[in-house]
Chain A
Amino acid sequence: AQSVAQPEDQVNVAEGNPLTVKCTYSVSGNPYLFWYVQYPNRGLQFLLKYITGDNLVKGSYGFEAEFNKSQTSFHLKKPSALVSDSALYFCAVRDGNIKDTNAGKSTFGDGTTLTVKP
C-alpha cells in the first residue's frame, strides 16, 4: 500500500520569508513524488517531481523540494514567499515498482493551505 501524509492543514508565513510545506510518504517500491498547487475553483497544476537523481528538485514559480529517503520525506520549499503563492498544495506519491498492480495509481495527501500575508 502507498500513503502520503501532510501533517499541517494550514501554513502561514509573511511575504518575503521562507516557506516549507511538509510531506511524508510510504511505499513498498521506489517512490515517485509530486507536488501540485490548486488555486480556488481551479484544477490542480503540477509544480515539480522527483523520480530519480538529485535529491533537490527545482520546479515552477521558484519552488523546490528535497527528497530525503531516510526520513521518507519530500518537503516543498521556497526561499522567499509571495502573496500570490497563497493556495492549496498537494503532495502525491506513486509506487515505482512496476510489478506492483498499484503502480499506475497516485495517492494524494489531504492538502495544506498556504497563506502568505503581506
Chain B
Amino acid sequence: NAGVTQTPKFQVLKTGQSMTLQCAQDMNHNSMYWYRQDPGMGLRLIYYSASEGTTDKGEVPNGYNVSRLNKREFSLRLESAAPSQTSVYFCASSEGKYNEQFFGPGTRLTVL
C-alpha cells in the first residue's frame, strides 16, 4: 500500500496563478482532510470531506476550493495564489471521524 500520496512535492507560483494539489489514498478511508503547516502555528484545517460527495470548511478555507472526486481522491485548488498561501500542505485520511489520520508527505508551495 502506498498510503496517502500527494503531487507535486514542490511548487513555485507567481501571485495570481492557479494550481491544484492532488491527493489520493489507497486505504479505502471515508474521510479526507487538507491542512496547511506554517512555522509556529501547527497544522490548520483548510477543508475536510467526511465521506464521498461531501465537503466542509475548516479553520482557514478562504482562498481555497476542494473537490472530492471519488472515494480515493481529494484535490485542493488555489484559484488566485497569494504570498500568504506560501506554506506546506498536507493531505490526510482516516477511516472515520474518530480515528487516527494518515498523512501524505506534503507539498511545499512558495508564492512569489
Interface residue stretch chosen among B11-19, B66-74, B75-83, B99-107 = B99-107
Interface of A is mostly: loop
* Cβ–Cβ contact A110 & B105, under 8 A: no
Interface size class of B (residues with CB under 8 A): 20 to 34
Residues of the B chain whose Cβ atoms lie less than 8 Å from the Cβ of A111: 42
Q: Which residue of A lies closest to B57 (CB)?
A: A105
Given contacts A105-B58, A110-B42, contact A46 B48 (CB under 8 A): no
Residues of the B chain whose Cβ atoms lie less than 8 Å from the Cβ of A94: 97-98
* Cβ–Cβ contact A45 & B103, under 8 A: yes
A33 CB to nearest chain B CB (Å): 11
* Cβ–Cβ contact A51 & B103, under 8 A: no
28 A-B pairs with CB atoms under 8 Å apart are: A32-B98, A36-B101, A36-B103, A41-B106, A43-B90, A43-B104, A43-B105, A43-B106, A44-B90, A44-B101, A44-B103, A45-B103, A46-B102, A51-B98, A90-B42, A94-B97, A94-B98, A104-B56, A104-B97, A105-B58, A105-B59, A106-B101, A107-B45, A108-B35, A109-B42, A110-B40, A110-B42, A111-B42
Q: A43-B92, A110-B41 are in contact. List 6 more A-B contacts (CB 8 A).
A: A9-B40, A105-B59, A108-B42, A108-B43, A108-B44, A109-B42
